[in-house]
A = this chain, B = another copy of it.
Amino acid sequence: MVISTPHGNITAPVFMPVGTAASVKSLSSEDLESVGAQIILANNYHLYLRPGPQNIKKLGGIHTFMNWPHPILTDSGGFQIMSLTPRITDKGAYFKSHLDGSLQFLSPETTTLSQIDIGANIIMAFDHPIPAGASHAYAKEAMLRTHAWLLRCIKTWKDADLDRKFARSRTPLAGVEHEFSQDRVRNKQALFGIIQGGQYPDLLKESTKFIVDQDLPGIAIGGAVIGSNPSQTSQALAIIRDLLPKNKPLYTMGVGVKPSDIVSVIRAGADMFDCVAPTRLARCGLLYNRQSKTERLDISKSQFKLDKNPIDDTCDCSTCRDYSRSYLHHLFKSHELLYYRLASIHNLRVMIRTTSLVQSL
């Protein structure tokens, strides 16, 4: 499947590195190109708080801001807010900023407008994800709220589009051409709805039907059941599979922790994935290795102190080309900043290469 955006095409299945605050931790745009990233993800929650969507807009949009000329997806912030013990009403979510403790409010309207200003190519609806093990009643309440919020996201998205069409019909003022050009890009932003329903088949089916009925450019499935456990993810995908359109990308949010997670979820029908695990595990010393039963090495172990081999001799990344396990062990033990970048390059490359080698069903 090829997904088209004004910043280029994406060939699915595709793994999206996570650049929470408009930076994939430790990596430059050149690094991301070198590992084969086609699209990266950023978080509206973080960017809303700092530097703020209006500031990103003034700086020419997120692509210009972070010097990433390829596709970008922003998550709405629904998932991030859940870890901040928010007060959720039908209106939206009240929560305290992790930066300064200030009271904040995000809603379907504000998250959509914020993502429009940020200027990503794919923007996500504001949803109400639920933790693993949530009751059927709670899962249903969160699902119905997610559906109601989606309709408000769609209205905001379409109204913003009308506003821009009106703006373009006026004579452009001197000096604002760039602004209009940005608007043309944002005009093509694709809004994805998010299926919720936890592990409950009836809710998953009901949510899928509702989301599919909105006829949006893409469909996502979220919540703690997705992402944290690949077999549960595959089970959920099997339940909803026949209800999904064939011609639209399916994005399973938060997959995968291990390379094999990606393989199983692609086989279950997913097209797009993101996960902080490759870069986060890398920073903790855990480096993907195909020969290992756990799919990874713990580079902190003293067994690597004199090991001249690359992390994985089947890997084609620059870290495996240029640096040995012994040097990475030394950098990790010495808390050297270079370690985090070299490790992140490797883990992302393994995840992206694994994804590209699996045939979508």
A-side residues, CB < 8 A to B, are 21-30, 50-51, 55, 58-60, 65-67, 305-306, 308, 318, 322-324, 326-327, 330-331, 333-334, 336-338, 340-342
Contacts and interface: CB of A to CB of B under 8 A. Distances in A.
Contact of A65 (B24, B327, B333): B327
28 contacts: A23-B331, A23-B336, A24-B338, A25-B337, A25-B338, A26-B338, A26-B341, A27-B338, A28-B322, A29-B322, A30-B318, A30-B322, A50-B330, A50-B333, A51-B305, A51-B330, A55-B306, A55-B326, A59-B308, A59-B324, A60-B308, A65-B324, A65-B326, A65-B327, A65-B330, A66-B327, A67-B327, A337-B341
Nearest to A319: B28
Contacts of A59: 306, 308, 324, 326-327
A22 B22 CA distance: 30
A338 B334 CA distance: 18
Given A334-B23, A338-B28, A341-B26, A322 B67 contact: yes
A58 to B, nearest CB: 6
Nearest to A340: B337
A337 B335 CA distance: 13
B25 A336 contact: yes
User: Assembly of this chain: how many copies?
Assistant: 2
A58 B341 CA distance: 26
A324 B64 CA distance: 9
A341 B324 CA distance: 21
Given A21-B336, A67-B322, A341-B341, 19 more contacts: A22-B330, A23-B331, A23-B336, A24-B338, A25-B336, A26-B337, A26-B338, A26-B341, A28-B338, A28-B342, A30-B318, A50-B334, A51-B326, A55-B326, A58-B306, A59-B306, A65-B330, A67-B327, A337-B340
A29 B24 CA distance: 21
A327 B58 CA distance: 12
A67 B321 CA distance: 10
Contacts of A341: 26, 28, 337, 341
A25 B340 CA distance: 11
Nearest to A307: B59
A30 B25 CA distance: 19
Contacts of A50: 330, 333-334
A25 B55 CA distance: 31
A160 to B, nearest CB: 23
A306 B342 CA distance: 31
Interface centre among A65, A306, A330, A336 (most CB of B within 10 A): A330
Contact of A21 (B26, B29, B306, B334): B334
Contacts of A318: 30
A176 B336 CA distance: 32
A4 to B, nearest CB: 26
Contacts of A67: 322-323, 327
Contacts of A308: 59-60
Nearest to A279: B337
A41 to B, nearest CB: 15
Nearest to A333: B50
Nearest to A339: B23
Contacts of A21: 330, 334, 336
Contacts of A323: 67
